[in-house]
Amino acid sequence: MDEQQLQHLRGDVDAIDDALMDLIERRQELARAIGKAKGASPVFDPGREQAVIARLRERHPAIDGRALEAIQREVISLCRSLQEKPRVAFMGPEGSFSQEAARRVLGQSVDDLFVANPWEAFAALERGEATLAVVPIENTVEGVVYATLDAFAKAPVSLSVAGEVQLPIVHVLATAGTPLEAVTEVRSHPQALAQCRLWLDRHLPAVPRVASATTSGAAAEAKDLRGVAAVCSEAAAQAQGLTVLHRAIQDQPHNRTRFWIIGRRDGPVEGAKTSLLFNVAHQPGALLQALEPLRAGRLNITFIQSRPLPENPFEYVFFLDVEGDAAREPLAGALKAMEGLCFRLRILGSYPVIVSDGTLRDRYKT
């Protein structure tokens, strides 16, 4: 080992690190100035943030793309917090998949507000206790999260979808030191238990399965109960000091959940995917007629779901996702035509879609 050369190289690294920190300090100053220039405009601008990351990935291909995104997202998060530190509501406790989804998009420089369910997340926004909420909307295995749709149907029109993040769901089986052969009960959210049914049937066929409010809540329960195993994220297991017995126990290797980032609409919608809420006359052909402008515009519907209207038995409100920006053609014209064919048409938001590594999904790029 050439000690002299090593010390010289380390000195160069130190100098570069100092230069990086000087630049970050300069970026913080610019962030404060941008915050003043924005005035009352939203601090969280997912489209702009994703464009910054995409530009850097294109300009610096020698840097691993995921590492670059992770670094830049934290720089953005730090600078965003100097304008206004977001308080984010999501299902907890520590280590939940909702928290992981929030971190993927918003970084570490946020204040966490743990809630029990999507209803409470929306309520926190309405009361001003949170500036953003991250709520699950759909899983590739277990389907729609109806509580999120129902909460949105009751939410004020000031709330809208600011972004979507798609997160790979990897479940682990964890205990407070109990070996697999001594497990007497498995706890988790019902969807997580269903997503791991085949593995549990094979390895713990006679062990009772008990529902918990969240996967991270199951981890917290397992911490204090001998013989209880939790199906949860690895982050939740680590947060509770549990021992991971098995990893990746989900039945489907491509298990994903998409989460919506909800906030207050302070400006025009903008994005490459749009979500709608609407209802139509309770008569034959009404739904087909309402969707005709989307077909005529050759617009791709990626999601449609009906939910019952409590005040009108056996009548329904529809949620729909469609590719395109509500402010641009051809979707803008199609939505204008739909307005005349629906009792109510509400644009829930136009927004970017962020995949698990933080990049924009190519099919939604504008």
In a domain, 253, yes or no: no
pLDDT band at residue 362, thresholds of 50, 70 and 90? very low
On whether both 44 and 110 belong to a single domain, the answer is no
User: Which range, of 42-46, 52-56, 349-353, 361-365, averages the lowest pLDDT?
Assistant: 361-365
Mean pLDDT for the chain overall: 91
Whether 258 is covered by a domain: the verdict is no
For residues 286 and 355, state if they share a domain: yes
Give the model confidence (pLDDT) of 333-354 as tens digits: 999 999 999 999 999 999 988 8
Task: Answer whether residue 75 is part of any domain.
Answer: yes
Task: Let me know if residue 262 belongs to a domain.
Answer: no
120: CB partners within 8 A, 6+ apart: 89
Q: Is residue 263 situated within a structural domain? A: no
Q: Do 357 and 276 belong together in one domain?
A: yes
CATH number assigned to the domain comprising residue 15? 1.20.59.10
* Number of domains composing the chain: 4
359 and 275 within one domain:
yes
> Are 184 and 133 members of one domain?
no
191 and 163 co-located in one domain:
no
Give the pLDDT score at 366. Answer: 34
Are residues 180 and 161 located together in one domain of the fold? no
Same domain, 279 and 364: yes
Q: Looking at the domain assignment, is residue 223 inside a domain?
A: yes
* 163 and 97 co-located in one domain: yes
Identify whether the C-beta of residue 94 lies closer than 8 Å to the C-beta of residue 232: no
Q: In what order do the strands lie in the sheet with 273-279?
A: 301-309, 312-323, 273-279, 344-351
Phi, psi of 225 (to 5 degrees): -125, 115
Q: 64 with 98, same domain?
A: no
- Report the helix count and the strand count for the chain, using DSSP H and E: 12, 16
Domain boundary among 117, 138, 167: 167
Rounded (to 5) percent helix, strand, coil in the chain: 40, 25, 30
Domain boundary among 148, 167, 186: 167
- pLDDT tens for 52-98 read 999 999 999 999 998 999 999 999 999 999 998 999 999 999 999 99
103 domain-assigned: yes
Per-residue pLDDT of 121-145, as tens digits, reads 999 999 999 999 999 999 998 899 9
For the beta sheet containing 209-211, the strands, ordered from the edge strand earlier in sequence to the opposite edge, are 209-211, 185-188, 228-232, 172-175, 243-247
Last residue of a domain, one of 112, 132, 167: 167
In contact, 203 and 196? CB cutoff 8 Å? no
What is the extent of the structural domain holding 158? 88-167
Please measure the distance between the N-terminal and C-terminal CA atoms of the chain and give it in whole angstroms: 52
Q: Are residues 76 and 100 in the same domain?
A: no
Same domain, 274 and 360: yes
Preceding omega of 330 cis (within 30 degrees of 0): yes
Closest CA to 245 of 183, 332, 308, 330: 183
Total-model pTM: 0.88
Cα–Cα distance between 289 and 301 in angstroms, integer?
A: 15
Strand partners, 262: 133, 161
In a domain, 255, yes or no: no
* Phi, psi torsion values for 313, nearest 5 degrees: -55, 135
Is the model's pLDDT at 13 over the cut of 80?
A: yes
* C-alpha–C-alpha distance, residues 243 and 269, integer Å: 45
Q: What is the CATH classification number for the domain harbouring 184?
A: 3.40.190.10
The total of other beta-carbon atoms located within 10 Å of residue 229's CB is 31
